[in-house]
Chains A and B, each alone.
Chain A
Amino acid sequence: MSVAQERLSAPVAKAWYAPEQLTERISGLALHVAIIGITVAWLVPTVGLFVSSFRSLGDIQASGWWSALSPPFRFTLDNYSSVIQTNGLGTALLNSFMITIPATIIPTTIAAFAAYAFSWMRFPFRNWIFLALVGLLVVPLQVTFIPLLSMFRALGDMTGGFIGNGTFPAVWLAHTGYGLPFSIYLLSNFFRALPSDLFESAEIDGAGTLTVFFRIILPLSVPALASLVIFQFLWVWNDLLVALIYLGGTEQVAPLTVKITSLVNSLGQGYQLLTAAAFLSMIVPLIVFFSLQRFFVRGILAGSVKG
């Protein structure tokens, strides 16, 4: 709005070769060069893998991936067809969804409630508890496996196998526990950044805690919630060890990550299949990422604060 008005009221635009314009254009150009340069460099490893996924094992061992870009090409779809035809790949895909979706929803919702309390409510020891939460981020997961697995075994006995080792609820709960510190940390930061005027005007309007949370905070925090969902989804989708420990790697329950590692035998043979498997496995997280992209827009806050 104001930029356009400014342009209209400014003096006649300078010629493109004038010093100020030139500087602007060059810095504009530099910007584009920098961004494109970084992006291209970033892509090199992925492109390398992509090209390798279309080559046979012998070729991968014998020459660099760029050799496949000049004749003789020797491309092959063998890696992809081997992976796609793997027994039980469909089930593994479903299992991955079965693990990931709940393990994303549950921590996100619990964290949203907790983060609101940490950022906008006062209670004794609030900061200490919060810091302890952040500190727990450093706990290496492997030290938690044995005590928790024993706990799940006991729980399984108590609930008749509903929640216990080798069940989906067990791995959902585990991922929730592991994911909460970061989720709360991230959301608290965003909630805290919301202007306090919002709450004051809401209070004046007579809104209670619930209304403020559901009607004001959540809609305004959509970018934060979207990022959290993306990260938690990614982390659980690509996880291997937590699923192996709590759920197991048997055919019925194994997620995609376990299935993919079973493409390689104990001597490491078959790693060329991992190239194709990596790309196939990447599709779902990328879809999630793209579909949540539209929440990363500016201007949600614009107009909400008066004066």
Chain B
Amino acid sequence: MDGRPLVKGIGLLVLSVLALVACAPGSSSSNTTTGGSVNVLGTWGGDEQASFLAMVKPFTDQTGIKVNYEGTRDINAVLTTRVQAGNPPELAGLPGPGQMFQFAKDNKLVALDNVLDMGAMNSQYSSNWVKLGQYNGKTYSIFIKTSLKGLVWYDPKNFAAKSYQVPTSWDQLQSLQGQIASSGAKPWCIGLSSGSASGWPGSDWVKEIVLSQSGPTVYNAWWSGKQKWSTPEIKKAWQTWGQMILGANGANVYGGPQYMAATAFGDAGQPLFTSPPGCYMHNQGSFMNSFFDAYSTKPQTGVDYKFFALPDINSQYTGARVVAGDLFGMFKDTPQARALIKYLTTPAAQDIWVKRGGAISPNKNVSFSDYPDDLSRSIAQSMINTKLPEFDAGDLMPSAMQTAYWKAVLDFVGDQSKLDSILATLDKVQADSY
């Protein structure tokens, strides 16, 4: 055996050591600049991400603290994994208060009562919003932006063409629906497809009906797991929705149940603007107008589309509305994180996103004139004027329950007659999740 392998071996060793030593470590994770940094994890992407970054830019300019934002729609996976592995981001967007309760219960969230200016919070936010961020009396999360649900979008020109009146009561809504149907058109449009959340638009309908039909007490007992799905009130809500939307055999909705299931919720408003109109009304949240603006028919706000609030079903519970919002919690206590989360609650910060459009602020000190157009202004006013705001029940439920809820919508639309077995399944999940 000659000595060549020996020389080669040593040569390679030396080379490899040199190669690795010659390379100074590249990027590293933590900054050592005076400002420091905060890692923020959220679900926002695209224009929302741009708006959030614009929102925090003055913060960075003032304090020198860098905000490292990461957005992902897989937030459940990423956040859970990081929290469980002991490596959470400092701030994270929470999919809903239900998750926040869970994290708070597991002691993963940092209490914010000493971090935020609670005096300012209580004066700038209605008590509903402050309470919603609390668990067991301690504050764990704040709301960055909010949205209003139960808005029925319609094309005023189509209504005028047929002399339809905007209904102000549930009975008027039913008769309007009957009028539209008898003229051979479809009253409603709705799309259920939405990735892993498919079915949520239907769940919005049902929860709005539960709230309006049976009131806040039942509503709250229901989402907190104290009232079963198979109880008469909840069952009635499903049946009401089923009759309204699906009618005899999907007669009341454009494209029938098949189209509902196959169409993305953002695309489902298209038939409002065709001629002749595919449908006349579309119940969706306050964010829907950004979808309308992208349609090829280019509808104009206020001219081609407006909204009216879904009328109250039960006069006992007038003014009950479902609201929703994006909330943030603090997982790691650092001075930079404290500064950021405090900043995010201020009217100045909230104002930035409001001005860019696409956000309704829960902060009372944000002036209405800052909203970019009449439509968002009127939504903001509706929000403030809501007499009985109740947060989105699905977002308040534990994640497993909410997922089962969405799936139940899909099953129900597929076959209304299976309602009892669907509700029984939901009861089982309820027993399991709380």
CA distance A150 to B87 in the complex (A): 8
Determine the main DSSP class of B at the interface with A: loop
Chain B 35-58 interface mask (CB, 8 Å, partner A; 1/0)? 000010101111111000000000
Stretch at the interface among A193-201, A230-238, A263-271: A263-271
Task: Give 5 new A-B contacts, CB below 8 A, not counting A167-B29, A245-B78, A266-B43.
Answer: A165-B87, A241-B77, A245-B81, A266-B45, A269-B266
Cβ B77 vs Cβ A142 within 8 A: yes
Can you name the residue of chain A whose Cβ is closest to the Cβ of B295?
A58
Q: Is residue B26 contacting chain A, with contact meaning CB distance below 8 A?
A: yes
Q: Is residue B290 contacting chain A, with contact meaning CB distance below 8 A?
A: yes
Cβ A59 vs Cβ B296 within 8 A: yes
Which residues of A are found within 8 Å of B26, using beta-carbon distances?
A: 98, 168
| Minimum C-beta distance from B144 to chain A (A) | 12
Q: Is residue B70 contacting chain A, with contact meaning CB distance below 8 A?
A: yes
Which residues of B are found within 8 Å of A50, using beta-carbon distances?
A: none
Which residues of A are found within 8 Å of B1, using beta-carbon distances?
A: 208
Which residues of A are found within 8 Å of B18, using beta-carbon distances?
A: none
Partner of B25, one of A153, A162, A267: A162
Q: Is residue B264 contacting chain A, with contact meaning CB distance below 8 A?
A: yes
From A152, A244, A251, A264, residue with most partner B Cβ within 10 Å: A244
Q: Is residue B33 contacting chain A, with contact meaning CB distance below 8 A?
A: no
Which residues of B are found within 8 Å of A145, using beta-carbon distances?
A: 77, 81, 85
Determine the main DSSP class of A at the interface with B: loop
| Minimum C-beta distance from A120 to chain B (A) | 19
Partner of A149, one of B5, B71, B72, B87: B87
* Given A153-B86, A161-B30, A167-B28, A269 and B290 contact (CB-CB distance below 8 Å): yes
Which residues of A are found within 8 Å of B428, using beta-carbon distances?
A: none
Chain B 66-86 interface mask (CB, 8 Å, partner A; 1/0)? 001111111001100110111
10 A-B residue pairs with Cβ-Cβ distance under 8 Å, sorted by A, are A58-B294, A58-B295, A61-B267, A98-B26, A166-B29, A245-B81, A249-B41, A262-B45, A266-B73, A268-B264
Partner of A265, one of B47, B81, B195, B295: B47
Which residues of B are found within 8 Å of A248, using beta-carbon distances?
A: 29, 39, 70
Can you name the residue of chain B whose Cβ is closest to the Cβ of A262?
B45
Q: Is residue A250 contacting chain B, with contact meaning CB distance below 8 A?
A: yes
Interface size on B, residues (CB 8 A): 46
Q: Is residue B183 contacting chain A, with contact meaning CB distance below 8 A?
A: no
Q: Is residue A57 contacting chain B, with contact meaning CB distance below 8 A?
A: yes
CA distance A152 to B68 in the complex (A): 21
Cβ A267 vs Cβ B71 within 8 A: no
Q: Is residue B270 contacting chain A, with contact meaning CB distance below 8 A?
A: yes
Partner of A250, one of B25, B39, B291, B294: B39
Cβ B69 vs Cβ A250 within 8 A: yes
Q: How many A-B residue pairs have CB under 8 A?
A: 128
Q: Is residue B182 contacting chain A, with contact meaning CB distance below 8 A?
A: no
CA distance A248 to B298 in the complex (A): 38
Cβ A261 vs Cβ B73 within 8 A: yes
Q: Is residue A210 contacting chain B, with contact meaning CB distance below 8 A?
A: yes
Cβ A146 vs Cβ B84 within 8 A: yes
Interface residues of A in 247-284 (CB under 8 A from B): 248-254, 258, 261-270, 273
Q: Is residue B287 contacting chain A, with contact meaning CB distance below 8 A?
A: yes
Q: Is residue B297 contacting chain A, with contact meaning CB distance below 8 A?
A: yes
Interface residues of A in 97-125 (CB under 8 A from B): 98
Q: Is residue B27 contacting chain A, with contact meaning CB distance below 8 A?
A: yes
Cβ A146 vs Cβ B47 within 8 A: no
Q: Is residue B416 contacting chain A, with contact meaning CB distance below 8 A?
A: no
CA distance A269 to B7 in the complex (A): 61
* Given A167-B29, A264-B46, A146 and B297 contact (CB-CB distance below 8 Å): no
* Given A149-B87, A250-B68, A268-B264, A57 and B294 contact (CB-CB distance below 8 Å): yes
Q: Is residue A62 contacting chain B, with contact meaning CB distance below 8 A?
A: yes
* Given A62-B270, A264-B46, A269 and B294 contact (CB-CB distance below 8 Å): yes
| Minimum C-beta distance from A60 to chain B (A) | 9
Cβ B84 vs Cβ A265 within 8 A: no
Q: Is residue B102 contacting chain A, with contact meaning CB distance below 8 A?
A: no
| Minimum C-beta distance from B193 to chain A (A) | 9
Q: Is residue A227 contacting chain B, with contact meaning CB distance below 8 A?
A: no
Partner of A249, one of B72, B81, B267, B298: B72
Which residues of B are found within 8 Å of A221, using beta-carbon distances?
A: none
